Amino acid sequence: MNKASLVSRLSKAIGAAYVVHRPEDLVVYERDAFLVGRALPDVVVLPRTTEEVAACVRLARAAGMPIVARGAGTGLNGGSIPIRGGMIVALTRMDRIVEVDAVDRTALVEAGVANAELTSHVAHLGLFFAPDPGSQVASTIGGNIGNNAGGMHCLSYGVTTNHVLACEVVDADGNVFWAGSAATDAPGLDLPGLLCGSEGTIGIVTRAIVRLMRRREAVRTVLAIYRSFDEASRTVSQIVATGILPQAMEMMDEEGVRAVESQYSLGLPADGAAVLLLEVESTASAADRAMNELRAICAAHGAAELRIASNEKERHDLWKARKHFGGALGHLAPSNYVQDGVVPRHQLPAILARIREIGRRHQLRIANVFHAGDGNLHPVILFDPREPGMTEKVVRAGEEILKACVDAGGTVTGEHGVGIEKREYLGWMFDDATLNVMRRLRDRLASRGTMNPDKKLPIGSHEPFSYATAAMLGETST
């Protein structure tokens, strides 16, 4: 089937207005939020229903095209870049919250619903959707499932897979099935667990039944300011050792503190080496007890200042330092490259020292922000991509940071996923036998890699960043 015939058939299936095929229009879909890498799809479809998704998949298969599912394009790993061309199935029109069950605390939502929109929709019921990635205002539930997104409160509430009960899926042949069940402890294989984090390599999630949480009676928030990063890290370790489980435990280093203060004037000290943000949610009495313990631990481990929110406005103000981190960095450099490694909590001081050494050696400026409670760190490399050779150097430094995380007993990703960015890095963590099991499972379910090909699992590139480098130099083809 040639492209003209495919476009004609797709237009009949979902409407000509929702089939994108002109080169000047396809450019919009050539990349996501990943630092480097771009590739044009042959065609983009924007279906409205699961049946339309299935029809598009069947037509793509008939045309011999690979298929890439796409949400809002906020991914940071190149997962929605169509590196083999083919068809992008963009799910942004599937944005309906179909049903909310306030008694059982579940919601049936389409894949294109924005994460924060779901929480906003159920707020009047005293409910919320717990996963809260930094991009939650834009990122979609389907994308959250694909990458098993986390967020600032995942320390206590867990990541996306902990809140997905069932998924409606279109497989590589255009068949539709349900994975999982809204029933408690349903029998059968854990197919939703397999889908969460699979990055569209085994099917396209079109709808999902997700778990909703009830708002706690009280929230208590404190911002602790330290003049030593080691003191802040020891505070984190001590909090975990006591058995207290804050809903959020976020940390920024001095580079981040300076960036945020320079842009937003929040009153953070210029000599602050680290900021630790702690939040607990419970009944009023339990939250007060936990916050008193947290304050005592912070003070005992060298906190120079404690700022405690007494109302919702003050709580919002304390969160500004953390939530404006990304925007503040945008004022410091034309571009940045954010990483997503994980280390054991006790390794935070050592890994920060290693990151700083990597920055000095490559002559790069790096700011750090952490989901400190679970050791998920986000080093952000600041740079100007217009400088010759700079982007390649930045990618190299990012690779070294992730290797250091693995060497410290951690992983290459905590919440951003693998995509093309980290696919070869999985060889640092898994042996060939384990990776081959993953490949066989994927290929059995997705007709030998026709769904989002060359993503998630190693393909044997000579260097881990070889595709990124080629894309940067304009050497990739579609």
- Indicate the CATH number for domain 97-214: 3.30.465.10
pLDDT for res 269: 81
Residue ranges of the chain assigned to CATH 3.30.43.10: 3-90
Yes or no: is domain 3-90 CATH 3.30.43.10? yes
Does pLDDT of 266 surpass 70? yes
Residue with the larger pLDDT of the pair 255 and 106: 106
What average pLDDT score do residues 158-171 get? 96
Beta strands 67-70 and 87-90 are: parallel
Residue ranges of the chain assigned to CATH 3.30.70.2740: 329-472
Cα–Cα distances in angstroms (integers) from residue 283 to residues 190, 219, 237, 290, 297, in the given order: 33, 8, 25, 10, 21
Is residue 319 within 8 A of residue 132, CB to CB? The reply is: no
What average pLDDT score do residues 171-192 get? 91
pLDDT for res 478: 36
Task: Report pTM.
Answer: 0.91
Does pLDDT of 176 surpass 80? yes
d(CA 418, CA 65): 23
pLDDT for res 326: 81
Cα–Cα distances in angstroms (integers) from residue 9 to residues 5, 49, 58, 64, 146, in the given order: 6, 17, 11, 14, 28
Per-residue model confidence as pLDDT tens digits over 387-433: 999 988 999 999 999 999 999 999 999 999 999 999 999 999 999 99
pLDDT for res 329: 83
pLDDT for res 473: 41
Residues with Cβ < 8 Å from 378, sequence gap 6 or more?
338, 339, 340, 368, 369, 370, 371
Residue with the larger pLDDT of the pair 317 and 117: 117
- 23 confidence band (pLDDT: 50, 70, 90): very high
- 270 confidence band (pLDDT: 50, 70, 90): confident
Cα–Cα distances in angstroms (integers) from residue 116 to residues 113, 144, 205, in the given order: 9, 11, 19
Does pLDDT of 317 surpass 70? yes
- 465 confidence band (pLDDT: 50, 70, 90): low
Per-residue model confidence as pLDDT tens digits over 194-226: 999 999 999 999 999 999 999 999 999 999 999
Q: Which of 42-51, 184-193, 354-363 has the lowest mean pLDDT?
A: 184-193
Which residue, 380, 310, 446, is CA-closest to 454? 446
Does pLDDT of 126 surpass 60? yes
Does pLDDT of 289 surpass 90? yes
Give the H or E element holding residue 2.
none
Does pLDDT of 468 surpass 70? no
- 25 confidence band (pLDDT: 50, 70, 90): very high
What average pLDDT score do residues 145-150 get? 94
What average pLDDT score do residues 454-468 get? 71
Cα–Cα distances in angstroms (integers) from residue 79 to residues 39, 200, 393, 471, in the given order: 12, 9, 22, 14
Alpha helices per DSSP H over 304-389: 312-323, 325-329, 348-362
pLDDT for res 461: 67
Measured N-to-C along each axis, helices 50-62 and 3-14 cross at an angle, to the nearest 10 degrees, of 170
Retrieve residue 180's tokens. Answer: 């999982």
- Indicate the CATH number for domain 329-472: 3.30.70.2740
- 173 confidence band (pLDDT: 50, 70, 90): very high
- Indicate the CATH number for domain 218-323: 3.30.70.2190
d(CA 222, CA 291): 8
Angle subtended at Cα 452 by Cα 421 and Cα 115, rounded to the nearest 5 degrees = 80
Beta bridge partner(s), residue 279: 221, 248
Residue 28, classed as helix, strand or coil, is helix
Residue 246, classed as helix, strand or coil, is coil
Residue ranges of the chain assigned to CATH 3.30.70.2190: 218-323
What average pLDDT score do residues 321-328 get? 82
- 463 confidence band (pLDDT: 50, 70, 90): low
DSSP strands (E only) in 318-474: 335-338, 341-342, 365-371, 376-383
Residue ranges of the chain assigned to CATH 3.30.465.10: 97-214
Per-residue model confidence as pLDDT tens digits over 244-258: 889 999 999 888 888
d(CA 255, CA 252): 8
Residue 369, classed as helix, strand or coil, is strand
pLDDT for res 453: 94
